[in-house]
Structure 1
Amino acid sequence: MSNSTMNFTSSDSTNSTTQSFGKLDICLNSISLLFGLPTHFYVIWLIVTGPGSGVASAFFNLNLSVCEIGNCLFCFFNAMAICFSRLKIVSNLLEGLGITGRPLFQCLICVERYLAVVHPVTFLKYKPLRYRVICCTAAWIITIGSCLICMLILMLHNTRAHTWFFSLQFLLFLFIQLFCLVAVLRALKQSGPGERGRDEESHIKRKAFYLILISTIAITFIYVPYIIIGLCYVLTQQFIKDLYSFSYVCYVLAGFVQPVLYLQHAGKRPFLRTS
């Protein structure tokens, strides 16, 4: 999210707020554009050119990287809109990718890991690629709808509606990831008959738990501050400037969490030598 869409101050202080956040926006947006685009294109290339089953197993990661490329473009248009106000409509349209697209695909990845650990029979039943395609198609329809709603709300300058729009979604996505995290943690603590000697299965469960844990921590750092900002604005009409700055830094940096996890899993760690 950009400072212009998260600007909850009064009209008298709009210019000063834009100036104070302008440098931060430009710096973070540049990082997202210069480092985010190559990273996500690299992940997409690895998935597409990998083994035949690789596309199916990493299909959610593929769609998440496509969504993150849209987020990088949002950062670009958001930065350019500081000088060219007409580009703001494109930035407003792409904002829905960050509000809905990113956390939605992250939740799909976590739910997939949750099913693999807690409900393995169900996971095997819905493992074929066609089911992932159905889920991602529904996710993209929801995301595109969110983009259109964001653009409409921001064109109408309805700050209160925009605040409720992203706050409620962030609460929902955070709850889903926390549910998956707790369920997988409980499954790891409960060892079934003869499972104590099955080191490989235990390793897979621990790996799924750490993946969900890292994703949950990332989404917590991104969205909890935004939720606090939104609720404070709705209740007190006050904008927490320092918390916004922290939130926006986390928002940009969190775009690198999932690709790094995928590269780690694939054994492709840029700038590091694999032993």
Structure 2
Amino acid sequence: MMERCSPPTSPHLFSTSPRCFRKHPRALVLQRSHMSVNSSSFSNASHISNRRSFLCFDSPDGTFAFLTFATANFLLLLPLSILVIHVGFQRWTLQRSTSSTRVTSHTDVFTYHMVAMEFFTLLGSGLYCVADFLRNEQIMIAGFYLFSIILPGQTNFHCMTCIERYVAVVHPITYLGLRKTSGVRIRNISIGCVWLLSVGWMHVTYIHLPYLAVIPLFLFYTVSLLVISFCSLSVLWALRHPSPGDRSGDRVRVDQSKQRAFHTIMAIMGVLLLKFSGHLICLVIYRSTVAVGRDPCFVLKSSFWLSLPSSLVLPLLFLQRAGKLTCCKNNTASGQGSK
């Protein structure tokens, strides 16, 4: 009995006989198209599932870990940031009213910009928490992108602060020249590049989503730690081997300046080492947790706690120099009196 072949109108309504494919080639085209659509749908569904898993959209443990971090971030970082902006505005108003020629230090300017960048972090973490409450994945992704700005920006401002302290101690004559117009221009260009890199990091995050940009991130951390380690060792060498041109009457003042620079660099290197090593350990735990089929969201979101000290170090150092920290007022006053 001859098999009857009817013209295909749907990929589900044609015979799979080779004779029918030869008689109606459109049947083969429809079948291949149907398989392609199924494959594309499966790929999209898998991508969405991986993205929701990475964002911990349906994980109570991940939500709790990030919510506690966001709360602590708001309670600690927001008052410090507002106080830094307030002190900076007071100084700017005083300079305008007295027509002072005093130049704002590069370190203070770096702190102002890092605090401004932290406001994007606070906004991003707030959007993330609100999106989790509203069960809105798009708002959650927007919050995640805003939060990711701080990853390169914060570390770059830390590196620039350490380089500025290194130049001030090891190359004081060059540093005095950089406090003038040419140095201000270089500083502003560097700050602009940091902002561009931070915004560009959002695109890097978008490319790697629903996975972490592990290789670019850890390469960036490694280079930053090498730069900061070089600055700290150079300042320590200058502290232990004073210049033969230093007069005995000025040596105490010079040594105190070098010690403050060394303490600043060591504080920054300490929080970056905590952040780098902690994220590395959390990544290993995250991969092993995924391998055994457990929910990795609690480990992933808990790793954000390791970024909190690095967000606080520059504002705290700025307020210490300004004499706004009660516990450090006496030390700051004695240090400034010896200048």
- Equivalence for 1:263: 319
- The verdict on how the C-alpha distance between 1:56 and 1:199 changes in structure 2, with shifts beyond 3 A counting, is closer
| Structure 1 unmatched runs, 5+ | 1-7
| C-alpha distance after superposition, 1:80-116 (max 9, x if no partner) | 2323322122223213322101111111111100111
Q: Relative contact order, CA 8 A, sep 6+: which one is greater?
A: 1
- Equivalence for 1:222: 275
- The verdict on how the C-alpha distance between 1:80 and 1:172 changes in structure 2, with shifts beyond 3 A counting, is farther
Alignment partner for residue 79 of structure 2, among 38, 58, 64?
38
- Equivalence for 2:235: 184
Residue identity opposite 2:266 in structure 1:
L
C-alpha distance in structure 2 between counterparts of 1:227 and 1:82, whole Å:
26
Which stretch of structure 1 is more off in the superposition, 25-34 or 100-109? 25-34
Superposition deviation, residue 32 in structure 1: 1.0
C-alpha distance in structure 1 between counterparts of 2:276 and 2:206, whole Å:
20
Residue identity opposite 2:315 in structure 1:
P
1:42-121 alignment, distance < 5 Å: 42-50=83-91, 51-52=94-95, 53=102, 55-57=104-106, 58-83=108-133, 84-121=136-173
Over the matched positions of the two proteins, sequence identity in percent amounts to 23
C-alpha distance in structure 2 between counterparts of 1:71 and 1:102, whole Å:
11
| C-alpha distance after superposition, 1:48-81 (max 9, x if no partner) | 3215436444111111111122222222122223
C-alpha distance in structure 2 between counterparts of 1:15 and 1:150, whole Å:
17
Residues 171, 227 of structure 1: 8 Å contact kept: no
Alignment partner for residue 198 of structure 2, among 143, 146, 154?
143
Which stretch of structure 1 is more off in the superposition, 257-266 or 144-153? 144-153
Question: TM-score normalized by structure 1?
Answer: 0.82
Which stretch of structure 1 is more off in the superposition, 55-64 or 227-236? 227-236
Residues 77, 311 of structure 2: 8 Å contact kept: yes
Superposition deviation, residue 236 in structure 1: 11
Residues 223, 247 of structure 1: 8 Å contact kept: no
Residues 121, 147 of structure 2: 8 Å contact kept: yes
Residue identity opposite 1:166 in structure 2:
L
Residues 181, 212 of structure 1: 8 Å contact kept: yes
- Equivalence for 2:263: 210
Residues 222, 250 of structure 1: 8 Å contact kept: yes
Paired residue secondary structure (2:149):
helix
Question: TM-score normalized by structure 2?
Answer: 0.68
C-alpha distance in structure 1 between counterparts of 2:290 and 2:257, whole Å:
47
Alignment partner for residue 221 of structure 2, among 149, 160, 170?
170
Residues 61, 298 of structure 2: 8 Å contact kept: no
C-alpha distance in structure 1 between counterparts of 2:328 and 2:261, whole Å:
24
- The verdict on how the C-alpha distance between 1:140 and 1:222 changes in structure 2, with shifts beyond 3 A counting, is same
| C-alpha distance after superposition, 1:133-165 (max 9, x if no partner) | 1111111111111123213432xx2x26x1222
Larger Rg over CA atoms? 2
The alignment of Structure 1 onto Structure 2 pairs a total of residues equal to 261
Superposition deviation, residue 189 in structure 1: 1.2
Residue identity opposite 2:188 in structure 1:
V
- Equivalence for 2:70: 29
Which stretch of structure 1 is more off in the superposition, 56-65 or 101-110? 56-65
C-alpha distance in structure 1 between counterparts of 2:189 and 2:259, whole Å:
28
- The verdict on how the C-alpha distance between 1:23 and 1:116 changes in structure 2, with shifts beyond 3 A counting, is same
Paired residue secondary structure (2:159):
helix
- Equivalence for 1:3: none
Residue identity opposite 2:206 in structure 1:
M
